[in-house]
Amino acid sequence: MTEYNVRIEQDNDPMHPRKDHDNLGTMVCFHTRYNLGDETHIEHDWFGGWNEMKEFILTPDDKEYSEYLGEGMGAVIALPLSLYDHSGISMSVGVSRGWDCGQVGFIYCTQKDIDAAGMTLEDAERHLRGEVETYNAFISGDIYGFTVEDESGEHIDSCWGFYGYDAAKEAITNIIREN
């Protein structure tokens, strides 16, 4: 039986999941210390609170939201995003209140986006939640790569950019099975 030397390491130069990947959703986020989410034309100070922002995001794009803002965004899904900020940051879907956490924005998509992706509304919501999980791995440094060598030190394979430690371990298991 062949023995393998495996190294799993944190990926210090990962691809940015909001800039380097195609996404179904748009992440609009506001924080005083961090530049989070996607670049949008939405400004936080346009709104009196998160409920007003959500209403704007969900207002059909052919209807005027206000004289100041013009047409709405036309989203059919808008999920709240919360950030936990304590010795690092992590983002999740939902509204978290309490010490070191709070809402920072929304992830949303339109029916046009959903139709172009060939998804149902339920599939789209699951997909948006997955985008947030991937982004959370990115902002919290939970991205890995690995190197696999045989017992004589011969390089067998290596790969980087796994969002989550378990994803890297699963890929290694598949490589070892194939060899």
CATH number at residue 152: 3.30.160
- For residue 136, what are its two tokens? 């959370």
| Residue 152 shares a structural domain with residue 105 | no
> What domain count does the chain have?
2
| Residue 162 shares a structural domain with residue 98 | no
- 23-27, 120-124, 145-149, 173-177: least confident range: 173-177
Flag whether 118 is in a domain. yes
In angstroms, the Cα distances linking 175 to 6, 8, 150, 154, 179 are 11, 14, 12, 14, 6
Q: Which domain holds residue 172?
A: 4-12+143-178
| Residue 169 shares a structural domain with residue 97 | no
| Residue 102 shares a structural domain with residue 134 | yes
| Residue 154 shares a structural domain with residue 135 | no
- With a cut of 70, say whether residue 64 has pLDDT above it: yes
What ranges make up the beta strands (E) of 44-166? 64-66, 70-71, 75-85, 89-93, 101-110, 143-150, 155-163
| Residue 134 shares a structural domain with residue 153 | no
| Residue 156 shares a structural domain with residue 131 | no
Flag whether 21 is in a domain. no
- State pTM to two decimals: 0.88
- What pLDDT does 99 receive? 82
| Residue 97 shares a structural domain with residue 165 | no
Which residue do the tokens 């067998």 mark?
A: 156
- What pLDDT does 9 receive? 95
